[in-house]
Structure 1
């Protein structure tokens, strides 16, 4: 008899939401997407994209490792333009704002790409 697989609880207790066939990591993220869609239809923003990946460090091959290590990436929840300005947004709760990996990637986005992440 096989043991049933246990579902891992989300780290920050968020609940995934499906909106128009797209799965979002939280209700807050889905709500923000609806807001951005309205702004795009109104012509206030343009080129709205979801889950856009930025390379923060290229892949590398260490001499003592058999395979290359993958590139380090930051995946933004939303990227769009207001006029000529590129806006990169990440939907965060109070708990996820303090996450050490997010803080490091936020620092690297500014250092490598000169882009400040807007936390919503």
Structure 2
């Protein structure tokens, strides 16, 4: 058997037990006991926490789901569930009184772009940071 590598059952199990990486190469990071999907998202959270403490923003929330509505009602997935976009952060900007929706994106997917466009059509602007 030329070029065939043999391994024990324990070695094979060890390979399957290893944590898998993120789909697009982002590295998880933990801040204040909260695990974020990327370093970029964790850094933005730290910045927003400073703005919260300074009194510039209020009502900081993470992983906020926004249901998408079309002209004729809710937008549905192929399986019939209501479609939504989940943004990384939502908060109230105390200077303007408006709710701000932010997403820390490294590589926007086509699916994300479509959801963001539908959200914009219903008056919800998602800011990429």
- Band the TM-score falls in, shorter-chain normalisation: 0.7 to 0.9
Residue 61 of structure 2 aligns with which residue?
A: 49
Whole-angstrom distance in 2 between the partners of 1:30 and 1:18: 7
Larger Rg: 2
Match 2:117 to one of 104, 107, 111: 107
- Which whole-Å deviations, capped at 9, do the CAs of 1:8-62 have from their partners, x for residues lacking one? 43221001111122110011110100100000110111111000110015486x9
Q: After TM superposition, what 4+ stretches of structure 1 lie above 4 angstroms from structure 2?
A: none
Where in structure 2 are there 5+ consecutive unaligned residues? 1-8
Match 2:44 to one of 32, 42, 66: 32
Q: Tell me the matched-pair count.
A: 111
Structure 1 residue 7 displacement after superposition: 4.1
Residue pair 2:21, 2:27 contacting (<8 A) in 1 also: no
Match 1:88 to one of 101, 106, 117: 101
Q: TM-score, normalising length from structure 2? A: 0.75
Where in structure 1 are there 5+ consecutive unaligned residues? 63-67
Residue 3 of structure 2 aligns with which residue?
A: none
Residue 65 of structure 1 aligns with which residue?
A: none
RMSD: 2.3
